[in-house]
Protein backbone atom coordinates (compact mmCIF):
# COMPACT_ATOMS: atom_id res chain seq x y z
CA UNK A 1 0.00 0.00 0.00
CA UNK A 2 1.12 3.53 -0.73
CA UNK A 3 -0.03 6.77 0.84
CA UNK A 4 0.53 10.14 -0.82
CA UNK A 5 1.75 12.73 1.68
CA UNK A 6 1.16 16.27 0.39
CA UNK A 7 3.04 18.88 2.40
CA UNK A 8 3.84 22.59 2.17
CA UNK A 9 6.96 23.96 3.82
CA UNK A 10 5.14 26.95 5.32
CA UNK A 11 2.45 24.78 6.92
CA UNK A 12 2.62 24.51 10.69
CA UNK A 13 0.72 21.25 11.18
CA UNK A 14 2.83 19.68 8.43
CA UNK A 15 5.75 19.80 10.87
CA UNK A 16 4.49 17.13 13.30
CA UNK A 17 3.20 15.08 10.36
CA UNK A 18 6.62 15.20 8.67
CA UNK A 19 8.32 14.04 11.85
CA UNK A 20 5.77 11.30 12.64
CA UNK A 21 4.82 9.74 9.32
CA UNK A 22 7.77 7.41 8.71
CA UNK A 23 7.40 5.50 11.95
CA UNK A 24 3.59 5.41 11.83
CA UNK A 25 3.62 4.21 8.22
CA UNK A 26 6.29 1.59 8.82
CA UNK A 27 4.29 0.19 11.73
CA UNK A 28 1.44 -0.49 9.30
CA UNK A 29 3.56 -1.57 6.33
CA UNK A 30 2.56 1.47 4.29
CA UNK A 31 4.90 3.15 1.81
CA UNK A 32 4.90 6.95 1.84
CA UNK A 33 5.10 9.07 -1.30
CA UNK A 34 6.36 12.55 -0.34
CA UNK A 35 4.69 15.22 -2.48
CA UNK A 36 5.70 18.87 -2.06
CA UNK A 37 3.29 21.52 -3.33
CA UNK A 38 2.52 25.20 -2.81
CA UNK A 39 -0.47 26.11 -0.71
CA UNK A 40 -0.38 29.86 -1.41
CA UNK A 41 -1.83 29.60 -4.94
CA UNK A 42 -4.61 27.31 -3.67
CA UNK A 43 -5.48 29.62 -0.76
CA UNK A 44 -5.72 32.45 -3.27
CA UNK A 45 -7.73 30.57 -5.90
CA UNK A 46 -10.09 28.81 -3.49
CA UNK A 47 -10.50 31.34 -0.69
CA UNK A 48 -9.26 34.65 -2.10
CA UNK A 49 -6.57 34.75 0.57
CA UNK A 50 -3.22 36.51 0.15
CA UNK A 51 -1.88 35.45 3.55
CA UNK A 52 -2.21 32.46 5.86
CA UNK A 53 -5.71 32.05 7.35
CA UNK A 54 -3.92 32.00 10.70
CA UNK A 55 -2.78 35.59 10.12
CA UNK A 56 -6.01 36.74 8.47
CA UNK A 57 -8.09 35.50 11.42
CA UNK A 58 -6.01 36.22 14.54
CA UNK A 59 -8.24 34.26 16.93
CA UNK A 60 -7.62 31.13 14.83
CA UNK A 61 -3.90 31.91 14.73
CA UNK A 62 -3.65 32.25 18.51
CA UNK A 63 -5.40 28.92 18.93
CA UNK A 64 -3.23 27.20 16.31
CA UNK A 65 0.07 28.21 17.92
CA UNK A 66 -0.99 26.97 21.33
CA UNK A 67 -2.49 23.80 19.86
CA UNK A 68 0.66 23.10 17.83
CA UNK A 69 2.75 23.53 20.97
CA UNK A 70 0.55 20.96 22.77
CA UNK A 71 0.59 18.57 19.81
CA UNK A 72 4.39 18.67 19.61
CA UNK A 73 4.70 18.10 23.34
CA UNK A 74 2.31 15.16 23.09
CA UNK A 75 4.48 13.56 20.45
CA UNK A 76 7.79 14.45 22.07
CA UNK A 77 8.80 16.80 19.26
CA UNK A 78 10.92 19.88 19.96
CA UNK A 79 9.14 23.06 18.95
CA UNK A 80 9.88 26.77 19.04
CA UNK A 81 7.43 29.25 17.61
CA UNK A 82 9.17 30.83 14.60
CA UNK A 83 9.39 34.60 14.28
CA UNK A 84 8.54 34.42 10.56
CA UNK A 85 5.15 33.06 9.52
CA UNK A 86 4.34 31.96 6.97
CA UNK A 87 7.77 31.39 5.53
CA UNK A 88 8.45 31.22 1.81
CA UNK A 89 9.05 27.54 1.02
CA UNK A 90 9.37 27.94 -2.74
CA UNK A 91 13.08 27.09 -3.04
CA UNK A 92 12.82 24.26 -0.52
CA UNK A 93 9.91 22.78 -2.46
CA UNK A 94 11.86 22.90 -5.73
CA UNK A 95 14.76 21.10 -4.07
CA UNK A 96 12.46 18.47 -2.53
CA UNK A 97 10.83 17.87 -5.90
CA UNK A 98 14.21 17.37 -7.55
CA UNK A 99 15.14 14.54 -5.18
CA UNK A 100 14.38 10.84 -5.52
CA UNK A 101 11.67 9.69 -3.11
CA UNK A 102 14.28 7.94 -0.98
CA UNK A 103 16.19 11.19 -0.49
CA UNK A 104 13.21 13.41 0.25
CA UNK A 105 12.39 12.59 3.91
CA UNK A 106 15.75 13.56 5.42
CA UNK A 107 15.94 16.84 3.52
CA UNK A 108 12.32 17.72 4.21
CA UNK A 109 12.71 16.98 7.93
CA UNK A 110 15.87 19.11 8.10
CA UNK A 111 14.02 22.08 6.56
CA UNK A 112 11.03 21.74 8.91
CA UNK A 113 13.40 21.57 11.85
CA UNK A 114 15.20 24.70 10.61
CA UNK A 115 11.82 26.46 10.61
CA UNK A 116 10.02 25.08 13.66
CA UNK A 117 12.89 24.16 15.98
CA UNK A 118 15.75 26.51 15.08
CA UNK A 119 13.73 29.51 13.83
CA UNK A 120 15.78 29.91 10.66
CA UNK A 121 14.80 31.57 7.39
CA UNK A 122 14.06 28.67 5.04
CA UNK A 123 14.01 30.92 1.98
CA UNK A 124 17.72 31.58 2.58
CA UNK A 125 19.84 29.45 0.25
CA UNK A 126 22.53 29.05 2.94
CA UNK A 127 20.01 27.55 5.33
CA UNK A 128 18.83 25.22 2.59
CA UNK A 129 22.40 24.22 1.85
CA UNK A 130 22.92 23.38 5.48
CA UNK A 131 19.76 21.29 5.48
CA UNK A 132 20.93 19.55 2.31
CA UNK A 133 24.29 18.77 3.89
CA UNK A 134 22.61 17.29 6.95
CA UNK A 135 20.54 15.14 4.59
CA UNK A 136 23.67 13.93 2.78
CA UNK A 137 22.87 15.64 -0.51
CA UNK A 138 25.22 17.01 -3.17
CA UNK A 139 25.41 20.81 -2.66
CA UNK A 140 25.82 21.47 -6.38
CA UNK A 141 22.68 19.57 -7.28
CA UNK A 142 20.76 21.45 -4.60
CA UNK A 143 22.00 24.76 -5.94
CA UNK A 144 20.90 23.81 -9.45
CA UNK A 145 17.43 22.67 -8.34
CA UNK A 146 16.62 26.01 -6.71
CA UNK A 147 16.67 27.79 -10.07
CA UNK A 148 15.85 24.92 -12.39
CA UNK A 149 13.19 25.67 -14.98
CA UNK A 150 12.18 22.01 -14.84
CA UNK A 151 11.59 22.24 -11.09
CA UNK A 152 9.69 25.53 -11.44
CA UNK A 153 7.38 23.94 -13.99
CA UNK A 154 7.23 20.68 -12.05
CA UNK A 155 6.20 22.41 -8.84
CA UNK A 156 3.45 24.33 -10.64
CA UNK A 157 2.26 21.01 -12.03
CA UNK A 158 2.27 19.40 -8.59
CA UNK A 159 0.24 22.28 -7.22
CA UNK A 160 -2.27 21.90 -10.08
CA UNK A 161 -2.52 18.16 -9.36
CA UNK A 162 -3.17 18.93 -5.69
CA UNK A 163 -5.99 21.29 -6.66
CA UNK A 164 -7.49 18.64 -8.97
CA UNK A 165 -7.51 16.16 -6.09
CA UNK A 166 -9.53 18.57 -3.97
CA UNK A 167 -6.66 19.52 -1.68
CA UNK A 168 -7.09 22.85 0.13
CA UNK A 169 -4.72 22.58 3.08
CA UNK A 170 -1.64 20.81 4.40
CA UNK A 171 -0.76 18.25 5.37
CA UNK A 172 -3.12 16.17 3.24
CA UNK A 173 -2.90 12.42 2.85
CA UNK A 174 -4.38 10.72 -0.23
CA UNK A 175 -5.10 6.99 -0.21
CA UNK A 176 -4.81 4.71 -3.27
CA UNK A 177 -8.61 4.76 -3.66
CA UNK A 178 -8.68 8.57 -3.66
CA UNK A 179 -9.78 9.38 -0.09
CA UNK A 180 -8.44 12.67 1.28
CA UNK A 181 -7.47 13.09 4.91
CA UNK A 182 -6.55 16.61 5.98
CA UNK A 183 -4.41 17.44 8.97
CA UNK A 184 -1.74 15.95 11.19
CA UNK A 185 -4.50 14.58 13.41
CA UNK A 186 -5.79 12.46 10.51
CA UNK A 187 -2.45 10.72 9.88
CA UNK A 188 -3.36 7.49 11.65
CA UNK A 189 -6.81 7.38 10.01
CA UNK A 190 -5.25 7.88 6.58
CA UNK A 191 -2.78 5.06 7.16
CA UNK A 192 -5.51 2.74 8.45
CA UNK A 193 -7.62 3.54 5.40
CA UNK A 194 -4.67 2.88 3.08
CA UNK A 195 -4.30 -0.57 4.62
CA UNK A 196 -7.93 -1.61 5.03
CA UNK A 197 -10.14 0.78 3.07
CA UNK A 198 -11.96 1.73 6.26
CA UNK A 199 -11.22 3.30 9.63
CA UNK A 200 -10.27 1.37 12.69
CA UNK A 201 -13.43 0.40 14.55
CA UNK A 202 -13.55 2.43 17.73
CA UNK A 203 -13.68 0.23 20.77
CA UNK A 204 -12.80 2.71 23.49
CA UNK A 205 -15.19 5.57 22.96
CA UNK B 1 -12.88 17.74 37.13
CA UNK B 2 -15.24 19.61 34.86
CA UNK B 3 -14.98 20.21 31.11
CA UNK B 4 -16.96 22.92 29.37
CA UNK B 5 -18.49 21.67 26.13
CA UNK B 6 -19.41 24.55 23.82
CA UNK B 7 -21.66 23.48 20.95
CA UNK B 8 -23.70 25.12 18.19
CA UNK B 9 -26.73 23.30 16.79
CA UNK B 10 -25.80 24.09 13.17
CA UNK B 11 -22.27 22.71 13.57
CA UNK B 12 -21.61 19.44 11.78
CA UNK B 13 -18.67 18.18 13.82
CA UNK B 14 -20.59 18.99 16.99
CA UNK B 15 -22.85 16.03 16.13
CA UNK B 16 -20.29 13.24 16.77
CA UNK B 17 -18.98 15.16 19.79
CA UNK B 18 -22.49 15.41 21.27
CA UNK B 19 -23.04 11.70 20.82
CA UNK B 20 -19.62 10.66 22.16
CA UNK B 21 -18.83 12.99 25.04
CA UNK B 22 -20.87 11.40 27.84
CA UNK B 23 -19.25 7.99 27.57
CA UNK B 24 -15.75 9.35 26.97
CA UNK B 25 -16.06 11.74 29.92
CA UNK B 26 -17.49 9.12 32.26
CA UNK B 27 -14.61 6.78 31.43
CA UNK B 28 -12.22 9.44 32.76
CA UNK B 29 -14.37 10.63 35.65
CA UNK B 30 -14.90 14.05 34.10
CA UNK B 31 -18.09 16.05 34.52
CA UNK B 32 -19.38 17.78 31.39
CA UNK B 33 -20.89 21.26 31.39
CA UNK B 34 -23.06 21.64 28.28
CA UNK B 35 -22.82 25.20 26.92
CA UNK B 36 -24.95 26.21 23.90
CA UNK B 37 -23.90 29.30 21.96
CA UNK B 38 -24.34 30.83 18.52
CA UNK B 39 -21.49 30.56 16.06
CA UNK B 40 -22.99 32.83 13.39
CA UNK B 41 -22.26 36.09 15.24
CA UNK B 42 -18.67 34.94 15.89
CA UNK B 43 -18.12 33.93 12.25
CA UNK B 44 -19.33 37.38 11.26
CA UNK B 45 -17.35 39.34 13.84
CA UNK B 46 -14.11 37.37 13.52
CA UNK B 47 -14.07 36.39 9.85
CA UNK B 48 -16.61 38.65 8.15
CA UNK B 49 -18.61 35.58 7.13
CA UNK B 50 -22.37 35.60 6.55
CA UNK B 51 -22.58 31.88 5.83
CA UNK B 52 -20.83 28.71 6.96
CA UNK B 53 -17.19 28.52 5.81
CA UNK B 54 -18.16 25.14 4.37
CA UNK B 55 -20.56 26.88 1.98
CA UNK B 56 -18.31 29.87 1.32
CA UNK B 57 -15.40 27.60 0.34
CA UNK B 58 -16.95 24.66 -1.56
CA UNK B 59 -13.78 22.57 -1.67
CA UNK B 60 -13.70 22.62 2.15
CA UNK B 61 -17.39 21.78 2.27
CA UNK B 62 -17.01 18.76 0.00
CA UNK B 63 -14.19 17.48 2.16
CA UNK B 64 -16.08 18.09 5.39
CA UNK B 65 -19.16 16.10 4.34
CA UNK B 66 -17.09 13.12 3.29
CA UNK B 67 -14.92 13.35 6.40
CA UNK B 68 -17.96 13.61 8.66
CA UNK B 69 -19.42 10.51 7.04
CA UNK B 70 -16.19 8.61 7.72
CA UNK B 71 -15.95 9.92 11.30
CA UNK B 72 -19.52 8.82 12.06
CA UNK B 73 -18.89 5.39 10.56
CA UNK B 74 -15.73 5.06 12.63
CA UNK B 75 -17.69 5.75 15.81
CA UNK B 76 -20.74 3.68 14.82
CA UNK B 77 -22.99 6.74 14.62
CA UNK B 78 -25.87 6.86 12.13
CA UNK B 79 -25.51 9.77 9.73
CA UNK B 80 -27.46 11.15 6.78
CA UNK B 81 -26.32 14.33 5.08
CA UNK B 82 -29.05 16.92 5.74
CA UNK B 83 -30.61 18.84 2.87
CA UNK B 84 -30.48 22.07 4.87
CA UNK B 85 -27.10 23.49 5.88
CA UNK B 86 -26.45 25.33 8.00
CA UNK B 87 -29.69 25.07 9.93
CA UNK B 88 -30.98 27.79 12.22
CA UNK B 89 -30.42 26.54 15.76
CA UNK B 90 -31.56 29.68 17.54
CA UNK B 91 -34.74 28.27 19.13
CA UNK B 92 -33.06 24.99 20.02
CA UNK B 93 -30.23 26.90 21.72
CA UNK B 94 -32.69 28.96 23.78
CA UNK B 95 -34.43 25.78 24.91
CA UNK B 96 -31.13 24.09 25.78
CA UNK B 97 -30.07 27.12 27.79
CA UNK B 98 -33.33 27.08 29.74
CA UNK B 99 -32.74 23.53 30.96
CA UNK B 100 -30.86 22.38 34.01
CA UNK B 101 -27.50 20.79 33.14
CA UNK B 102 -28.89 17.34 33.91
CA UNK B 103 -31.66 17.76 31.34
CA UNK B 104 -29.55 19.21 28.54
CA UNK B 105 -27.80 16.13 27.10
CA UNK B 106 -30.93 14.20 26.13
CA UNK B 107 -32.60 17.19 24.50
CA UNK B 108 -29.44 18.27 22.70
CA UNK B 109 -28.83 14.76 21.38
CA UNK B 110 -32.43 14.53 20.14
CA UNK B 111 -32.05 17.79 18.19
CA UNK B 112 -28.74 16.73 16.63
CA UNK B 113 -30.30 13.42 15.62
CA UNK B 114 -33.26 15.27 14.07
CA UNK B 115 -30.75 17.25 11.98
CA UNK B 116 -28.03 14.74 11.12
CA UNK B 117 -29.90 11.43 11.17
CA UNK B 118 -33.51 12.27 10.27
CA UNK B 119 -32.92 15.37 8.10
CA UNK B 120 -35.56 17.45 9.89
CA UNK B 121 -35.86 21.22 10.13
CA UNK B 122 -34.64 22.06 13.63
CA UNK B 123 -35.94 25.63 13.43
CA UNK B 124 -39.46 24.15 13.29
CA UNK B 125 -41.14 24.35 16.69
CA UNK B 126 -42.96 21.04 16.09
CA UNK B 127 -39.66 19.25 15.53
CA UNK B 128 -38.31 20.84 18.70
CA UNK B 129 -41.41 19.76 20.61
CA UNK B 130 -40.90 16.20 19.43
CA UNK B 131 -37.26 16.34 20.54
CA UNK B 132 -38.34 17.72 23.91
CA UNK B 133 -40.87 14.92 24.34
CA UNK B 134 -38.23 12.31 23.56
CA UNK B 135 -36.03 13.95 26.18
CA UNK B 136 -38.83 13.80 28.77
CA UNK B 137 -39.34 17.55 29.01
CA UNK B 138 -42.45 19.56 29.78
CA UNK B 139 -43.86 20.84 26.42
CA UNK B 140 -45.17 24.05 27.97
CA UNK B 141 -41.80 24.98 29.41
CA UNK B 142 -40.17 24.31 26.06
CA UNK B 143 -42.72 26.52 24.31
CA UNK B 144 -42.03 29.31 26.78
CA UNK B 145 -38.25 29.07 26.44
CA UNK B 146 -38.34 29.56 22.67
CA UNK B 147 -39.62 33.12 23.05
CA UNK B 148 -38.31 33.96 26.49
CA UNK B 149 -36.63 37.35 26.79
CA UNK B 150 -34.42 35.88 29.50
CA UNK B 151 -33.24 33.13 27.18
CA UNK B 152 -32.70 35.59 24.32
CA UNK B 153 -30.51 37.72 26.56
CA UNK B 154 -28.90 34.66 28.13
CA UNK B 155 -27.92 33.21 24.79
CA UNK B 156 -26.40 36.51 23.67
CA UNK B 157 -24.43 36.51 26.90
CA UNK B 158 -23.22 32.95 26.36
CA UNK B 159 -22.08 33.88 22.86
CA UNK B 160 -20.19 36.88 24.24
CA UNK B 161 -18.55 34.66 26.86
CA UNK B 162 -17.52 32.24 24.12
CA UNK B 163 -15.91 35.08 22.17
CA UNK B 164 -14.08 36.26 25.30
CA UNK B 165 -12.66 32.78 25.77
CA UNK B 166 -11.20 32.84 22.25
CA UNK B 167 -13.74 30.42 20.80
CA UNK B 168 -14.12 30.65 17.00
CA UNK B 169 -15.67 27.27 16.08
CA UNK B 170 -17.64 24.32 17.41
CA UNK B 171 -17.37 22.04 19.15
CA UNK B 172 -14.90 23.63 21.54
CA UNK B 173 -13.89 22.16 24.86
CA UNK B 174 -12.54 24.40 27.64
CA UNK B 175 -10.61 22.90 30.53
CA UNK B 176 -10.68 24.25 34.12
CA UNK B 177 -7.28 25.90 33.56
CA UNK B 178 -8.53 27.67 30.42
CA UNK B 179 -7.10 25.53 27.62
CA UNK B 180 -9.20 25.46 24.44
CA UNK B 181 -9.54 22.35 22.31
CA UNK B 182 -11.38 22.80 19.03
CA UNK B 183 -13.05 19.98 17.14
CA UNK B 184 -14.57 16.57 17.69
CA UNK B 185 -11.15 15.05 17.07
CA UNK B 186 -9.79 16.89 20.12
CA UNK B 187 -12.38 15.47 22.54
CA UNK B 188 -10.10 12.85 24.04
CA UNK B 189 -7.21 15.31 24.33
CA UNK B 190 -9.47 17.81 26.09
CA UNK B 191 -10.66 15.19 28.57
CA UNK B 192 -7.11 14.01 29.23
CA UNK B 193 -6.04 17.59 29.83
CA UNK B 194 -8.97 18.19 32.19
CA UNK B 195 -7.82 15.21 34.26
CA UNK B 196 -4.05 15.64 34.19
CA UNK B 197 -3.22 19.10 32.87
CA UNK B 198 -1.25 17.56 30.02
CA UNK B 199 -1.81 15.28 27.04
CA UNK B 200 -1.41 11.54 27.13
CA UNK B 201 2.21 10.72 26.36
CA UNK B 202 2.29 9.09 22.97
CA UNK B 203 3.84 5.65 23.12
CA UNK B 204 2.76 4.27 19.76
CA UNK B 205 3.83 6.89 17.24
Cα–Cα distance, B5 to B109 (Å, whole number): 13
Residues in chain A within 8 Å Cβ distance of B60: 46, 168
Question: Pick from B59, B67, B202: which is nearest to A74 by CB?
Answer: B202
Q: Which residue of B has its CA nearest to A184?
A: B185
A109 within 8 A of A18, measured Cβ to Cβ: yes
Question: Pick from B57, B74, B202: which is nearest to A199 by CB?
Answer: B74
pLDDT value for A189? 97
CA distance A146 to chain B (A): 31
Radius of gyration of chain B (CA): 16
Q: Which of A45, A175, A192, A205 to probe the B interface (max B CBs under 10 A)?
A: A205
- Per-residue pLDDT of chain A in tens (205 residues, 90 and over written 9): 899 999 999 999 999 999 999 999 999 999 999 999 999 999 999 999 999 999 999 999 999 999 999 999 999 999 999 999 999 999 999 999 999 999 999 999 999 999 999 999 999 999 999 999 999 999 888 989 999 999 999 999 999 999 999 999 999 999 999 999 999 999 999 999 999 998 867 454 4
pLDDT (tens digit per residue) in B8-39:
999 999 999 999 999 999 999 999 999 999 99
pLDDT value for A139? 86
pLDDT (tens digit per residue) in A69-102:
999 999 999 999 999 999 999 999 999 999 999 9
- 8-state DSSP, B119: -
pLDDT (tens digit per residue) in B35-55:
999 999 999 999 999 999 999
Chain A 157-186, CB below 8 Å of chain B: which residues?
166, 168, 179-182, 185-186
* Contact status of A24 with chain B (Cβ, < 8 Å): yes
Q: Given an 8 Å threshold on Cβ–Cβ distance, is B73 in contact with A188?
A: no
pLDDT value for B204? 47
CA distance A107 to chain B (A): 21
Residues in chain A within 8 Å Cβ distance of B26: none
Cα–Cα distance, A94 to A37 (Å, whole number): 9
Q: Which residue of A has its CA nearest to B70?
A: A199
Whether the pLDDT of residue B188 is over 60: the answer is yes
What stretches of chain B show up as alpha helix (H) in DSSP? 14-27, 40-47, 53-56, 58-74, 90-98, 104-116, 125-134, 139-146, 149-164, 187-196
> H-helix or E-strand containing B5?
strand B2-7
- At CA B165, angle to CA B163 and CA B168, rounded to 5? 50
pLDDT interval class at B203 (50, 70, 90): low
Domain ranges within chain A, ordered by starting residue = 2-196
Residues in chain A within 8 Å Cβ distance of B185: 185-186
CB-based contacts of A138-142 (< 8 A; 24+ apart in sequence): A141/A98, A142/A95, A142/A98
pLDDT value for B139? 86
B172 three-class SS = strand
A128 within 8 A of A92, measured Cβ to Cβ: yes
Cα–Cα distance, A150 to A159 (Å, whole number): 14
* Contact status of B44 with chain A (Cβ, < 8 Å): no
pLDDT value for B198? 87
- For the full predicted model, state whether its pTM sits above 0.90: yes
* Contact status of B62 with chain A (Cβ, < 8 Å): yes
Identify the CA nearest to B34 among candidates B199, B164, B174, B196. B174
pLDDT (tens digit per residue) in B55-98:
999 999 999 999 999 999 999 999 999 999 999 999 999 999 99
Class for the domain spanning A2-196: alpha beta
A186 within 8 A of A173, measured Cβ to Cβ: yes
CA distance B122 to chain A (A): 27
With a pLDDT cut of 70, the percent of chain B lying above it is 97
Q: Which residue of A has its CA nearest to B200?
A: A74
**Count of C-beta atoms within a 10 Å radius of residue A150:** 12
CA distance A57 to chain B (A): 6
Amino acid sequence: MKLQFWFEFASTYSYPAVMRIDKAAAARGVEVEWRPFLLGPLFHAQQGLKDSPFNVVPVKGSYMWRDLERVCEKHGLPFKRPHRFPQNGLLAARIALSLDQSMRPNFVKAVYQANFVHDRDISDSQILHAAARRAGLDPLEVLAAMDSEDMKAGLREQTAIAADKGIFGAPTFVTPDGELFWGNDRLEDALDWAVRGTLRPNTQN
